Amino acid sequence: MWNWFHKLASPPHFYRIAALLEPWLLWPALGLLLLGAYGGLVLAPPDYLQGEGFRIIYVHVPSAFLSMFAYVLMAAASAIGLIWRMKLAYCVAAATAPIGAVFTFLALATGAIWGQPMWGTWWAWDPRLTSELILFFLFLGYIFLREALRDRSQADRASAILAIVGVVNIPIIHYSVEWWTSIHQGPSIAKMDTPSIAGDMLWPLLVMIGAYQLLFFAILLTGVRAQVLEREKNARWVNDLLVKGVTGESVG
Amino acid sequence: MMEFLAMDGYAKYVWGAFGISAILIVATVWLSKRNLAATRQRVLRRIQAMEGKQ
């Protein structure tokens, strides 16, 4: 197990594996997106209270779920980078931030689009919405901090600390609807034993969540490959890969 | 068909949410691939410049 983990952490090995895996994640993700969208837009019955407007959940919930997942992954990779000084972990964290920012923006934007017809307002300073907005600023802060620091190891460490400190916001987002009075509805699918959503409506949502996850990992692998190339630009294996077209296994 | 597109009066909200999601997802995939290709070109040019100097 540790041997496999060590081998995967080798930049040339990871680069090769990521290049192989990426299409196997991207194409199934697009297929599942189409299936989930068809299920959510066509097959799922309208909600008894929100009517056809409820269908926004099929893009809102997967984005919101992914925004939190991406942040936890970024913080975990940052911690691994800080503790074990693993360059690949910093690459993963750095590549996660822009993707996380995009999906957090999508969660906020689709939430606002849902809020207008359901609550009568695009935005409210509600605990759930505000903590999700803070998450968006944390992703932006991480990106800008990395850009601002010219020294790479300093940028790695400083941004890692920001990511780890910011992870405290994740349970706040998740439990905000239980801890405080909120206009945002409570969990619907998190309580899997008794989900408060009908099966006809649930399966397209689960398909969309799965599709977004696969899509996230496909985009992440592309981003990590770019990070690895940039960091390893002086390594022999990069020379072999780009000049001779050889995917070397040994670190130069 | 028109009834489906109208979404019982919620058309601009439902299609707006799906539209912005589709646009940003496609853009993110495209930008990530373009960034990787640009990085490959930049690193390759650097290697060729170093080899030219030697």
Tell me the nearest-neighbour CA distance from B51 into chain A, angstroms: 10
| Residues of A with Cβ-Cβ distance to B7 under 8 angstroms | 52-53, 55
pLDDT at B8 over 90: no
Minimal Cα distance from A56: which residue of B?
B14
The pLDDT, as a whole number, for residue A252 is 32
Q: Is the pLDDT of residue A192 over 70?
A: no
CA distance A195 to chain B (A): 23
Query: What is the spatial distance between Cα A54 and Cα A117, in angstroms, rounded to a whole number?
Result: 10
> Where would I find the H helices in chain A?
2-8, 11-38, 57-84, 87-119, 127-148, 152-166, 169-179, 199-231, 236-239
Decide if B35 touches A, using CB distance below 8 A: yes
Q: Could you tell me the two tokens for B50?
A: 């170093």
Query: Which of chain B's residues have a Cβ under 8 Å away from the Cβ of A37?
Result: 18
Encode pLDDT of B13-43 as tens digits: 999 999 999 999 999 999 999 999 999 999 9
List of residues 6+ apart from A176 with CB closer than 8 A = A127, A128, A131, A182, A184
Q: Is the pLDDT of residue A181 over 90?
A: no
**B29, closest residue in chain A (CA to CA):** A219
Size of interface A-B (CB pairs under 8 A): 92
Q: Which residue has the higher pLDDT, A126 or A8?
A: A126
Q: What is the DSSP letter of A56?
A: G
d(CA A218, CA A210): 12
Distance from CA of A99 to the nearest CA of B (A): 7
Q: For A229-239, write each residue's pLDDT tens digit.
A: 999 988 889 98
Confidence check: pLDDT of A248 > 60: no
Tell me how far apart the alpha carbons of residues A138 and A154 are, in angstroms, rounded to a whole number.
Answer: 18
